[in-house]
Amino acid sequence: MIVKSLYDVVQFRTDWKLQFPCNLEFYSNNTDDVFKSPGIFYLFFRGELIYIGYSNNHQNIITDRVVRQLATITFRDFRLNFTQAALDSLISQNEMITYFRNPIPRVENSDFVTSVNRVLFASNHWDEFKNLNNQTLKLFELHWYPNPTVGVNSSISALCDSLKKKYKPRCNKEYVKPYLG
């Protein structure tokens, strides 16, 4: 297992011509070959497991996947898109929607599409995300498991699915908010 603070592997730049809050671009110049093998990754924020993902190709996991996840979890990247359900959820978040009135959020199915679970997560952490800086990046941690043993699973994707079902991280679709009747 390899553990990295996102501060050490991801950067961002501000485009002052774009409307806040989607005026950042996350990127990584990481070229370390250890991140180019198939594997499973966990993202943590403030010590909480928030996302489990995988790669089964030989692209750099940080530049190909982690940057995209960070963009769609923090709501700060200009490439952010919404599903209709995620946009409806955003509209219901009274404080957050005031930041997304202009320009109107895009509803598209693309690489940088967010979800209802991520809207709820970003809303819970909006005070930190709206003021995103390097200290915020230090609160994110990546755990990378290259070339994992799949055990009883048929593939890395099946292993990832079983881990998501077991742990139900808040930013994966497997998470269901507990009902406290």
pLDDT digit string (tens) for 74-120? 999 999 999 999 999 999 988 888 999 877 898 988 889 999 999 99
Please give the pLDDT value at position 115: 95
Q: Do β-strands 81-82 and 113-114 pair in parallel, antiparallel, or remain unpaired?
A: parallel
Q: What is the pTM of this model?
A: 0.94
CB-count burial class (<10 Å; 0-12, 13-18, 19+) for 99: middle
CA atoms of 156 and 56, how far apart (whole Å): 7
CA atoms of 87 and 33, how far apart (whole Å): 37
